[in-house]
């Protein structure tokens, strides 16, 4: 069973991350929101500090230059990272996709290692106008022509697609097989002829980094630009997605909720109405109690599932439950936070409105809540539920 004791070295790491986020990262949130990007000079300084402290690419193995953390340890770290904005997490702590471990030979030197060290930025190009939660339905094609692959298609909502040094493109080369051996991942460098960033799509939240539309028109790349083996692209994505959903959505939602709850706690003690702190009012207490309970429930779900993932247990159903519950939870908690703060919660003077906007998309990306409900229900109906 899961041991809830946090080892001393991991606790030291968590304390370091917590202080760093509070003292160095959170002060950059307002300016990042205002500029729509992380202030360049501040980014250079804080990113360097994070790297010196060993806080960059913590999810990647040590032999690549990463932190070598387990899924449980990484989720504990992600809780702390969730207490600031996604844009700052990406730029300062590194957005290094685990499927990059499939790089082989010269690809490791060209793509994997420079990304882990922070020298290069990678973007993951999967989503298309006609293929969101159903990733296997992509229409971007890859056709082998001699010693080159030719890519044609369009991707959108690609995080960091506008500034990435290279992108990992998922494309179909066998429409009959598709997810069963007909989809591969391709490494495409910025500036490759036929590859163009056509627009950056403004978003309701997650300001500070771009969400781009990418177009591939007869884009020729070398035959050895396939990441992993030909035909195993969908498998690589699915093997990586559990850790991403647990950490980037589940654990960060827990951390975001903890921050909102702490802001609420201070406010209900300080704010007075009718001659008494609003924390004395039962309706306010209900919002505090419900929020604390739901954050705790999400945290236990994240850690239990991360532990099973570390044991090599197939826990896809639990990952879907975590993704569903945590994303729905933070929406409710953020909404209560706005309500508790009243008019001030609706202003840009406090982080509440940013958190409210940022958390809304967690119910959409990496599979909508509706898709995950369907997956969970199908699994229970076919196999029953084992917890």
* Helix (H/G/I), strand (E/B), else coil: 229: coil
* Helix (H/G/I), strand (E/B), else coil: 282: helix
Q: Are 159 and 361 in contact, with CB atoms under 8 Å apart? A: no
Assess if CATH 3.30.70.1230 describes domain 234-383.
Answer: no
What would the pLDDT profile of 237-264 be if each residue is shown by its tens digit? 988 888 889 999 999 999 999 999 999 9
User: Given this chain, do its domains 8-96 and 122-227 carry the same CATH topology?
Assistant: no
Between these two residues, 134 and 337, which has the higher pLDDT value?
Answer: 337
The pLDDT of residue 339 is above 90: yes
Dihedral Cα 167, 168, 170, 172, nearest 10 deg: 90
Q: Give backbone dihedrals phi and psi of 380, rounded to 5 degrees, phi first.
A: -65, -40
Cβ-count burial 192-220 (b if 16+ within 10 Å, e if not): beebebeebeebebbbbbbbbbbbbeebb
pTM comes to 0.95
Tokens 């029953």 map to which residue? 384
First to last CA, the chain: 12
122-227: what fold?
Butyryl-CoA Dehydrogenase, subunit A; domain 2 (2.40.110)
What would the pLDDT profile of 142-197 be if each residue is shown by its tens digit? 999 999 999 999 999 999 999 999 999 999 999 999 989 999 999 999 999 999 99
* Amino acid 122: pLDDT: 97
Q: What whole-number distance in Å separates Cα of residue 89 and Cα of residue 153?
A: 30
* Amino acid 370: pLDDT: 96
CB atoms within 10 A of CB 241: 18
* Amino acid 242: pLDDT: 86
What would the pLDDT profile of 217-240 be if each residue is shown by its tens digit? 999 999 999 999 999 999 999 888
* Amino acid 118: pLDDT: 96
Domain residue ranges of the chain, discontinuous segments joined by +: 8-96, 122-227, 234-383
* Amino acid 198: pLDDT: 97
Q: Are 347 and 353 in contact, with CB atoms under 8 Å apart? A: yes
The pLDDT of residue 1 is above 80: no
* Amino acid 136: pLDDT: 76
What would the pLDDT profile of 313-327 be if each residue is shown by its tens digit? 999 999 999 999 999
Secondary structure element (H or E) that encloses residue 219, with its range? strand 211-222
The pLDDT of residue 2 is above 90: no
* Amino acid 230: pLDDT: 96
367-375: list long-range contacts, CB under 8 Å, 24+ apart. Answer: 367/133, 367/245, 367/320, 367/323, 368/132, 368/133, 369/324, 369/327, 369/328, 371/133, 372/320, 372/321, 372/323, 372/324, 373/324, 375/317, 375/320
Q: What whole-number distance in Å separates Cα of residue 303 and Cα of residue 246?
A: 9
The domain covering 8-96 belongs, at the CATH homologous superfamily level, to Acyl-CoA dehydrogenase/oxidase, N-terminal domain (1.10.540.10)
* Amino acid 148: pLDDT: 97
To the nearest whole number, what is the mean pLDDT of the chain? 95
What would the pLDDT profile of 278-304 be if each residue is shown by its tens digit? 999 999 999 999 999 999 999 999 999
Q: What whole-number distance in Å separates Cα of residue 365 and Cα of residue 124?
A: 13
* Amino acid 221: pLDDT: 98
Q: Are 225 and 233 in contact, with CB atoms under 8 Å apart? A: no
The pLDDT of residue 137 is above 90: no
Q: What whole-number distance in Å separates Cα of residue 355 and Cα of residue 256?
A: 8
What would the pLDDT profile of 63-114 be if each residue is shown by its tens digit? 999 999 999 999 999 999 999 999 999 999 999 999 999 999 999 999 999 9
């Amino acid at each position: 069973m899961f041991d809830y004791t946090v080892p001393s070295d991991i606790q030291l790491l968590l304390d370091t991350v917590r202080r760093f986020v509070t003292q160095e990262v959170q002060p950059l949130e307002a300016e990042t929101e205002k500029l729509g990007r992380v202030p360049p000079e501040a980014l250079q300084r804080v990113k360097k500090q994070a790297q010196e402290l060993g806080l960059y690419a913590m999810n990647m193995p040590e032999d690549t230059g990463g932190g070598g953390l387990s899924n449980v340890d990484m989720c504990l770290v992600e809780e702390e990272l969730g207490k600031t904005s996604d844009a700052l997490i990406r730029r300062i702590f590194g957005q290094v996709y685990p499927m990059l471990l499939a790089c082989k030979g010269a690809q490791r030197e060209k793509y994997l290692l420079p990304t882990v060290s922070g020298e290069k930025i990678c973007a993951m190009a999967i989503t298309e106008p006609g293929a969101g939660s159903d990733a296997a339905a992509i229409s971007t094609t890859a056709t082998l022509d001699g010693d080159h692959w030719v890519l044609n298609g369009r991707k959108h909502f690609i995080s960091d697609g506008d500034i990435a040094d290279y992108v990992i493109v998922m494309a179909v080369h066998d429409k009959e097989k598709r997810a069963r051996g007909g989809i591969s991942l391709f490494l495409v460098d910025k500036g490759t002829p036929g590859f163009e960033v056509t627009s950056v799509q403004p978003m309701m939240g997650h300001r500070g980094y771009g969400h781009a539309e990418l177009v591939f028109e007869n884009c020729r790349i070398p035959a050895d630009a396939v990441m992993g083996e030909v035909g195993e692209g969908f498998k690589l994505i699915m093997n990586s997605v559990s850790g991403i959903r647990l950490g980037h959505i589940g654990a960060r939602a827990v951390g975001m909720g903890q921050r909102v709850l702490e802001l609420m706690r201070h406010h209900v003690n300080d704010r007075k109405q009718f001659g008494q702190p609003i924390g004395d009012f039962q309706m306010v207490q209900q919002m505090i109690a419900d929020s604390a309970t739901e954050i705790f429930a999400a945290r236990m779900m994240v850690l239990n599932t991360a532990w099973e993932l570390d044991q090599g247990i197939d826990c896809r159903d639990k990952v879907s439950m975590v993704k569903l519950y945590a994303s729905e939870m933070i929406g409710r908690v953020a909404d209560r936070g706005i309500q508790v703060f009243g008019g001030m919660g609706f202003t840009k003077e406090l982080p509440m409105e940013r958190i409210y906007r940022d958390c809304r998309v967690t119910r959409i990306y990496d599979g909508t809540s509706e898709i995950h409900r369907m997956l969970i229900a199908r699994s229970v109906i076919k196999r029953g539920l084992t917890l």
